[in-house]
Amino acid sequence: MGDDRPGFSENGDSSLIIGTPEFSDEVGCGLDGPISKQDPREIARQYQLELSKRALDENVIVVLETGCGKTLIAILLMCDMGHLIKKPQKNVCVFLAPTVVLVHQQARVIEQFTDFKVGVYCGDAKHLKSHNAWEKEIEQYEVLVMTPQVLLRSLCHCFIRMEMIALLIFDECHYAQIESNHPYAEIMKVFYDIELSKVPRIFGMTASPICGKGASINSLEALLHAKVYTVNNKEELEAIVVSPVFQRYYYGSSTMLSSNSYQMCLNRLEDIKRKYVSMLCRAVDDASRVQNIKKLLQKLHKNMVFSLTYLGLWGALQACRVLLNDDGYERNELIEVKANTKDDFLQNEYLAEIASLLGSECMRNCSSPSQKPRREETSRTIGGISKVNSKATRSTNFVEGLASELSAEEVLKEPFFSQKVLRLIRILSNFRFTGFSFRSRPDMKCIIFVNRIVVARSLSYILGQIKFLSAWKCDFLVGLHSGLKRMSRRTMSHILEEFRSGKVNLLVATKVGEEGLDIQTCCLVIRFDLPETLASFIQSRGRARMPKSEYAFLVDRYENLLMGPLKFG
């Protein structure tokens, strides 16, 4: 069924037209920095007003690209339904966001543009484990912004009931698929019953309605009992949104992979893994604990092999340094193991031996005559690692000392770095001289997207050590996981603030940087790893919105020949 109103259309086919502004990043209209409170209707564009009006009449899923004003549409709808949620009414608006950072970001935006009383809930919410506690929250607040896990748990315990919710908003709603077990899907499948006399109005928003295997627009619409709408006034969107230039940067197949040094390292890594698994079986009687620790050691091994193959010797050494610096919980997050344990038995010893191996190979492959005295000293250091009690501390100090002794410039070649990393370094080095420069564009910013947390942290460190890239001030941005202390919400907020201010102008980010975060417009977005899903592609592309901005892909030349050229647009 179509709609005769100008400016937007129901999703009758799959030709979605996307683009335009949001505040901060998701509210738009080109506003940067702190936003003074004002009536959202005064800054809303016509299509935003029309879509919010449509959402008053039926459940709606708004599909608009990052930077097009989806959050403002949600706020307009919230205001239009204010008579249902303003105190002394007992009804509330529940605004769901999939990550802790997005929860806090969206709550801040709602407070900036409305006078609603806003409550924020995420994580364990230990103080909200009873009916009385939630009754007090609902008496006090009108808009409850939370992660879906909090709402799902509260619905399961009847702390919150569906009939109490006047408006239910799903940010990044593409996770709500019939075949999914995501909390969004569970909330709708278990608790949203259209036979009830009173159900909430549903409003979903996303830049990419299809996310993951088996996902579809029909599935999204069916689960949310809503219809997809988007803007069909292409001229209005194109006048607002700047489309980036797509660029492919090819890198050659690595000669390192066929070198004796690489094969020797792989064999030694396998030997070291077997050695520690054998030690584990002899030292621990508890079969369950043996299996858990064995799983962690095998995952560490896979990460080290991956780092060696895709980052090179020096890159793998930095990955080892990152892993050595973290405790058990943090290390589990880094290697992406779902294990609620700090049991790091043998892990530090294993990593210490890996550091010794990689450090030895780095020094052995360094051909500069000036390095000979350092190689001899390093060899003595390596030999001493196994003779001290605190292997992890000694190894960490060794890796960091080696980094200061052997500058990154001295190892800008294989086997120290992979062809992929070397290509990335050349892109960052050349970018200042081809259309952009730090002198002419002091606001120049870049995000590099990777798929693994350990790669994000390792690359961030590597790029920060290269002197001729000193104009790039680098940091990393990874997900808010329960164990990753170094990326607490406060730390992430601090990094984002430094990125906004320009103190940091290069972020190496995982998926957390794709979805809705208040990351200001960049002139360069680089996909170090190709996007795994269409959603990932669309969301990361939305970060490149400066005039003449570039959205770049690193592509293996050999794989490109096998698969055919990539098509984007």
Same domain as 212, residue 92: yes
User: Quick one: three-class SS letters along 211-234?
Assistant: CCCCCCHHHHHHHHCCEEEECCCH
Relative to beta strand 524-527, strand 506-509 is unpaired
Strand partners, 251: 556
What three-state secondary structure class fits 302? helix
Task: Find the helix or strand (DSSP H, E) in which 508 lies.
Answer: strand 506-509
What is the rounded CA–CA span in Å between residue 85 and residue 266?
62
Per residue in 426-474, pLDDT tens? 999 887 545 455 544 556 789 999 989 889 999 999 999 888 888 899 9
- Please tell me whether residues 359 and 440 are part of one structural domain: no
Specify the amino acid at residue 19: G
Please indicate, yes or no, if residue 2 is contained in any of the structural domains.
Answer: no
Q: Are residues 405 and 440 both part of a single domain? A: no
pLDDT in tens, 300-331: 999 999 999 999 988 999 899 888 877 655 67
407 and 421 together in one domain: no
> Does residue 268 sit in the same domain as residue 380?
yes
Write out residues in the chain with pLDDT < 50, as ranges. 1-26, 28-35, 372-373, 375-390, 392, 433, 435, 439-440, 481-486, 544, 562-563, 565, 568-569
Structural domain total, the chain: 3
For residue 569, tell me if it sits in a domain.
Answer: no
**Do 169 and 53 belong to one domain?**
yes
- My answer on whether 210 and 267 are in the same domain is no
Residue given tokens 């560490």 in the structure block: 300
Q: Is 51 exposed, middle or buried (0-12, 13-18, 19+ CB in 10 A)?
A: buried
Same domain, 145 and 233: yes
**End position of a domain, from candidates 411, 438, 471:** 411
Whether 533 and 494 map to the same domain: the answer is yes
Structural domain span for residue 488? 245-252+417-563
- My answer on whether 445 and 550 are in the same domain is yes
**CA distances (Å), 497 to each of 24, 335, 517, in order?**
12, 27, 12
In a domain, 3, yes or no: no
Q: What was the pLDDT predicted at 501?
A: 85
Residue 388 belongs to a domain: yes
State which of 377, 411, 445 marks the end of a domain. 411
pLDDT at res. 166: 98
From the centroid of its chain, how far is CA 59? 29
Q: Which of 511, 450, 445, 453 is nearest to 473 (CA)?
A: 445
- Residue 4 inside a domain? The answer is no
- In a domain, residue 1? The reply is no
pLDDT value at position 408?
A: 54
Residue 180 to residue 149: CA distance in whole angstroms: 14
Q: Which of 359, 391, 411 is the last residue of a domain?
A: 411
Q: What is the pTM of this model?
A: 0.69
What CATH number has the domain bearing residue 534? 3.40.50.300
In a domain, 316, yes or no: yes
Whether residues 20 and 119 fall in one domain: yes
* Strands 227-230 and 474-477, bridge-based pairing: unpaired
Tell me, yes or no, whether 163 and 304 share the same domain: no
